[in-house]
A and B are shown apart, each in its own frame.
Chain A
Amino acid sequence: MISGNVQKLERSLAALLHYGTLFASLLMAAGVLSGVSFHSTTESVASILMTVGVGFVILLPVCRIALMALLCAVAGEYRFACIAAVVLMIVAISCAVGLKLGVVSA
């Protein structure tokens, strides 16, 4: 990959991770603050906000790999695009296996 493409990739990934973490943190903070307001009506809203925020945090690295695969493919770096796609596939298999195995908590 030529230097300009590497820098473009690094800048894009940095922006995704920075703004993604900020957005997820704001969602979780809104959920936590709604949850401590003692109103039963806001409790369900708080729960939804916290679930979406936590889900967004977990999805952020998936989005990062997908963006890497896309940008590498666009730059003609098919080897690294394939590597990123393999990582995405392993994450997907891990999710499927985890779901199939079911709950393990006491």
Chain B
Amino acid sequence: METHATFVLFFLALGCSVLGGMLGMASGMFIVPALTGFGHMDIHEAIGASLVSVIACSCASAAPYLRGRLTNVRLAALLEIGTTLGALSGVLLVGVVPVRALYLLFAGILLVSAWQMFVRRVEPAAPCGVKPGRRSAALHASYPDPATGREVPYVVGRIPVGLLLMYAAGLISALLGIGSGVLKIPAMDTALRLPIRVSTATSNFMIGVTGCASACAYFLRGEIVTSVAAPVALGSVVGSIAGAHILMRTSTRHLRVLFVSILVLIALQMLLHGLD
């Protein structure tokens, strides 16, 4: 690959990842449209490169959450059964689903993300009807509140619904090369009723395994172009770290409308590709 193309890929991924990091999102949502739109890459090659960057970003950002005891590791292991089964279904469907349908699906996911960004996340109410001694009790945990320093206990509810939504998230991840946080986080907020910090950390922790279930298949059959995936993954890791730092130092309130507009514009671009 030519030198300038490598640098273009690195900075393209860096930009996408800074944007994603500032929004608290994985960069896959921006990388696939950028690679297909600006790089004129085949969508399957773009998905392969995006999956590698999504896994790298998930692994890079998982460690601080684990050290901060925000990740529910046991719940993640259980829900990963759903996400990996979804990814397996996605691997089976990837050659069957027409490219135009992939663009249309991507546009739909982007619009859902824009809506989620528009209506802010609210702390879910504690689940009702979860009795001590039930099987899910092993999944209940607590996390340290950084503001007060106190342990905040929480219970995990409605696991079957959560597993079903995780299956859908895994399927979408394998088909589109994204982390599917767009489905995982609402599943955790709404179905499992986890505190926002815990659902963000646990969702991020699971993204790596979800992506890996399909990326392994792409990699083993030589569909991941490493000269593309390596600069994209590197740019994404650097960008996600920079984006997270910017997120902590700036108020996203004023940027929210701008980011929603960007997501809608990318969705329209993907929609036009799909209808072309």
Tell me, rounded to whole Å, the shortest Cβ–Cβ distance linking A55 to chain B.
7
A59 vs B219: C-alpha distance in the bound complex, in angstroms? 11
Q: Which residue of B lies closest to A37 (CB)?
A: B3
CB atoms of A61 and B212 under 8 A apart: yes
CB atoms of B88 and A93 under 8 A apart: yes
Q: Tell yes or no: B95 within 8 A of A by CB.
A: yes
Contact of A94 with B63 at beta-carbon distance under 8 Å, contacts A10-B71, A28-B230, A65-B80 already known: no
Binds A, one of B25-33, B105-113, B231-239: B231-239
CB atoms of B69 and A94 under 8 A apart: no
B interface size (C-beta, 8 A): 62
Chain A residues near B71 (CB-CB < 8 A): 10
At the interface, is chain B mostly helix, strand, loop or mixed?
A: helix
A83 vs B77: C-alpha distance in the bound complex, in angstroms? 7
A10 vs B84: C-alpha distance in the bound complex, in angstroms? 21
At the interface, is chain A mostly helix, strand, loop or mixed?
A: helix
Tell me, rounded to whole Å, the shortest Cβ–Cβ distance linking A68 to chain B.
6
Tell me, rounded to whole Å, the shortest Cβ–Cβ distance linking A103 to chain B.
6
Contact of A7 with B216 at beta-carbon distance under 8 Å, contacts A51-B226, A58-B55 already known: no
User: Which of B6, B69, B221, B222 is in CB contact (< 8 Å) with A32?
Assistant: B6
CB atoms of A83 and B230 under 8 A apart: no
Chain B residues near A87 (CB-CB < 8 A): 77, 80-81, 84, 209
Q: Tell yes or no: A39 within 8 A of B by CB.
A: no
Chain B residues near A1 (CB-CB < 8 A): 74, 138
CB atoms of B81 and A83 under 8 A apart: yes
> How many Cβ-Cβ contacts under 8 Å join chain A to chain B?
184
Chain B residues near A31 (CB-CB < 8 A): 226, 230
CB atoms of A98 and B84 under 8 A apart: no
A99 vs B3: C-alpha distance in the bound complex, in angstroms? 32
CB atoms of B66 and A14 under 8 A apart: yes
CB atoms of B59 and A54 under 8 A apart: no
Chain A residues near B138 (CB-CB < 8 A): 1, 79
User: Which of B73, B222, B226 is in CB contact (< 8 Å) with A47?
Assistant: B226
Chain B residues near A35 (CB-CB < 8 A): 1, 3, 6, 227
Chain B residues near A53 (CB-CB < 8 A): 226, 230, 233
CB atoms of B56 and A24 under 8 A apart: yes
A20 vs B60: C-alpha distance in the bound complex, in angstroms? 9
Q: Tell yes or no: B91 within 8 A of A by CB.
A: yes
Q: Tell yes or no: B87 within 8 A of A by CB.
A: yes
CB atoms of A54 and B209 under 8 A apart: no
Chain B residues near A59 (CB-CB < 8 A): 212
Q: Tell yes or no: B260 within 8 A of A by CB.
A: no
CB atoms of B217 and A94 under 8 A apart: yes
Contact of A90 with B230 at beta-carbon distance under 8 Å, contacts A21-B237, A101-B95 already known: no
A residues with a Cβ closer than 8 A to B are: 1, 6-7, 9-11, 13-15, 17-18, 20-21, 24-25, 28-29, 31-32, 35-36, 38, 47, 50-51, 53-55, 57-62, 64-65, 68, 79-80, 83-84, 86-87, 90-91, 93-95, 97-99, 101-106
Q: Can you list the 10 inter-chain pairs with the closest CB atoms, starting with the nearest?
A: A98-B217, A14-B66, A104-B95, A50-B230, A18-B63, A61-B208, A61-B212, A90-B84, A28-B230, A105-B44
